[in-house]
């Protein structure tokens, strides 16, 4: 069995960010009838949104209304292939919006889109 390389990160997030993540985990768990994790939710969304074009107005509304940073610490460990997809998606979003984004902000937005588009 080949062991995939993974990268790990920790983020300090707001209650709103935390609520987005837990909602996605709940939706995905209910759909699959298996307990899911933040890691699986991020993996799913990195596949399902990979080819999607992002609306800059929708993203602007999201970052204007959803606080990202906060006192809640979460840990995320994802395989390198998932991290590569997330990075490519983040770069496309940065080009559309015109400034660099943190991984934390991009992940929150992508998971939020997954919930809105019923992708879990």
Question: Residue 95 half-sphere exposure, CB side, CA atoms within 13 Å?
Answer: 8
Kindly report each contact of residues 27-31 with a partner whose C-beta sits within 8 Å and lies 24 or more positions away, as own/partner. 27/115, 27/120, 28/120, 31/120
Distances (CA, A) of 111 to 1, 3, 45, 103: 30, 26, 6, 12
Q: Tell me what pLDDT residue 4 has.
A: 54
Mean pLDDT of successive 10-residue stretches along the chain, which has 120 residues: 68 96 97 95 93 93 96 87 89 92 94 95
Q: What is the pTM of this model?
A: 0.89
What would the DSSP string read from start to end of 33-70?
TS---HHHHHHHHHHHSTTPPPPHHHHHHHHHHS--B-
């Amino acid at each position: 069995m080949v062991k995939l390389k993974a990268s790990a990160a920790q983020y300090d997030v707001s209650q709103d960010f935390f609520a987005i993540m837990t909602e996605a985990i709940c939706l995905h768990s209910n759909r699959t009838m298996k307990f899911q994790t933040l890691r699986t939710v991020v993996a799913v969304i990195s596949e399902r949104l990979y080819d999607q074009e992002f609306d800059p107005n929708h993203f602007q509304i999201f970052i204007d209304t959803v606080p990202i940073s906060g006192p809640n610490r979460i840990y995320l460990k994802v395989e390198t292939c998932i991290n590569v997809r997330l990075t490519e998606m983040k770069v496309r979003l940065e080009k559309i919006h015109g400034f660099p984004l943190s991984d934390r902000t991009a992940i929150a937005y992508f998971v939020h889109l997954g919930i809105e588009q019923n992708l879990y």
